Amino acid sequence: MTERLKIEHLYKVFAARPERALDMLRCGATKADVLRDTGHVVGLDDVSLSVPAGAMYMIMGLSGSGKSTLARCVNRLNEPSAGRILLDDTDLCALAEPALRDVRRKRISMVFQHFALLPNRPVIENVEFGLKLRGVPAAARRQRAGQVLEVVGLARWADKLPHELSGGMRQRVGLARALATDADILIMDEAFSALDPLIRAEMQDELLRLQRTLNKTILFITHDFQEALKLGTRIAIMSEGRLVREGTPQSIVTEPGSDYVAAFTRDVDRARLFNAGASMTSLAPLVQRDGWTVLAGGEPGPAFVVDADARVLGLVGPAQIDALRDGLALPPLDAAFACVPAATRLVDAAAHFGTARAVGVIDEVGRLVGRLEAGRVLAHIGAGGANGAKHV
Ligand SMILES: Nc1ncnc2c1ncn2[C@@H]1O[C@H](COP(=O)(O)OP(=O)(O)OP(=O)(O)O)[C@@H](O)[C@H]1O
Ligand SMILES: [Mg+2]
């Protein structure tokens, strides 16, 4: 996958002369050490990460861990103290003011928690705002803003003033403004945090839906781990200005790697987070003949018989497998099996355990790629991650 945004050894010290603090950090000093010895606040301490094109990349961490500082460094609302920020191959840190302004207008859009809408301008003009800054002619920007309002479900509100909208709707206008610019990078800093839970869940669904067609590269900042899990393709977790863990949502839950990260994962509903593909047992051929193969793996019990295209024909029991091994013909097959696509959430896949003698996992074209075993699924859902992290 192509990398859209790459951050390399980024430091931010809030000081006019950060050199001494940087030297200390590079020698292993912490944010607290630097504050004590120099009086300077460290925002970012050697952060490196890569955001693939089209990713929904989550930045997570407690208050004060440096999430907003990182977001603001990306378009240099905060001036980085050291390091590089590569947008495709351009180092944003090296850009002079005119080129930087161009990047801010055309490549990167931001959505904040409390979006600053122009109070005396109707919704449509608020959405057009970014396009106006870009110098898009009036007719073209009105048309574009209209389209985007349609997308976020606010077309009928185009002529209303911001105060006539609810908080959730205003946030939607903020999102529409960011989307209207066509920037390929969207930075959303706690964009949904001020919304009440129901509206917030709706906005999350909306964003997921939009992302399927827009395919932007989104840097999404949140202190809510559930939100990160729901939206994220990758999650970076920050603490004290440092990036302490980075990976897919599933890998972070199974291997938090530290107590700090494990604390976020404690209340995670694993049955909803993991899918059949992540929890399946792989299969190996036991008996193979012209036109069919017996595939087995994991627990003893019935095994799958598949055709030459790896599509499931049925099940055979252990005694029948022995007979097949001895060269007997294929018996009538047991049809009491179920198959689920690899993307099925465990919570849904597990429902088959009640009725099926075996649950297979299939790929997009219906080939058997593994099976689910009740014991292993339960372990996956219930057990804690590695590294001694405890989960309730
Ligand atoms: N303009 C500033 N001047 C001095 N220190 C700052 C400035 N902005 C942020 N900081 C400090 O940088 C650190 C990181 O702050 P930041 O706002 O990035 O945290 P955050 O993770 O976004 O927190 P929150 O979840 O509360 O939004 C904090 O210690 C903060 O005090
Ligand atoms: Mg913040």
Give the domain 3-107+183-268 fold: Rossmann fold (3.40.50)
Q: How far is the CA of 237 from the centre of ligand 1 (A)?
A: 15
Which ligand 1 atom is at minimum distance from the Cα of 241?
14
Taking alpha carbons only, the member of 390, 382, 380, 379 closest to residue 262 is 390
DSSP 118-134: -TTS-HHHHHHHHHHHT
Q: Which residues line ligand 1 (CB under 6 A)?
A: 14, 41, 43, 61, 63-69, 223
Q: How far is the CA of 98 from the centre of ligand 2 (A)?
A: 27
If one counts every other C-beta atom within 10 angstroms of the C-beta of residue 263, the result is 14
pLDDT tens string, the chain, 392 residues long: the values are 689 999 999 999 999 999 999 999 999 999 999 999 999 999 999 999 999 999 999 999 999 999 999 999 998 999 999 999 999 989 999 999 999 988 888 899 888 766 678 999 999 999 998 888 888 899 999 999 999 898 888 999 999 999 999 888 888 898 888 888 878 899 999 988 877 888 888 888 888 988 888 889 999 999 999 899 999 999 999 999 999 999 999 899 989 999 999 999 888 888 888 889 988 999 999 999 989 999 998 778 899 999 999 999 999 999 999 999 998 999 999 999 999 999 999 989 989 998 999 999 999 999 999 999 988 888 877 754 443 333 33
Give the domain 276-380 fold: CBS-domain (3.10.580)
Contact criterion met (CB below 8 Å) for 222 and 228: yes
Distance CA 192, CA 172 (A): 10
Contact criterion met (CB below 8 Å) for 17 and 39: no
Distance CA 135, CA 326 (A): 79
**Tokens at 275, concatenated:** 């899918």
Checking DSSP bridges between strand 185-189 and strand 217-222, what pairing results, if any? Answer: parallel
| Ligand 1 atom 14: residue of nearest CA | 66
If one counts every other C-beta atom within 10 angstroms of the C-beta of residue 10, the result is 26
Torsion angle (degrees, nearest 10) of CA 188, 46, 388, 249: 30
CA dist 156 to 136, 147, 160, Å? 23, 12, 9
Which ligand 1 atom is at minimum distance from the Cα of 61?
21
Q: Which ligand is nearest to the CA of 15?
A: 1
Which one-letter amino acid corresponds to residue 143? Q
Contact criterion met (CB below 8 Å) for 369 and 362: yes
Which one-letter amino acid corresponds to residue 264? F
| Ligand 1 atom 13: residue of nearest CA | 43
Encode burial over 287-325: b for 16+ CB neighbours within 10 A, e otherwise.
beeeebbbbbbeeeebbbbbeeebebbbbbeeebbeebe
Question: Coil, strand, or helix at residue 30?
Answer: coil
CA angle at residue 58 from 134 to 230, to 5 degrees? 115
Contact criterion met (CB below 8 Å) for 281 and 372: yes
Domain boundaries, the chain: 3-107+183-268, 276-380
pLDDT of the residue at 1: 66
DSSP strands (E only) in 15-89: 41-52, 56-61, 82-87
CB-neighbour burial class of residue 5 (10 A; exposed 0-12, middle 13-18, buried 19+): buried
Length in residues, the chain: 392
Distance CA 59, CA 71 (A): 9
Q: Which of 14, 45, 112, 219 to mutate to test the pocket of ligand 1 (most atoms within 8 A of CB)?
A: 14
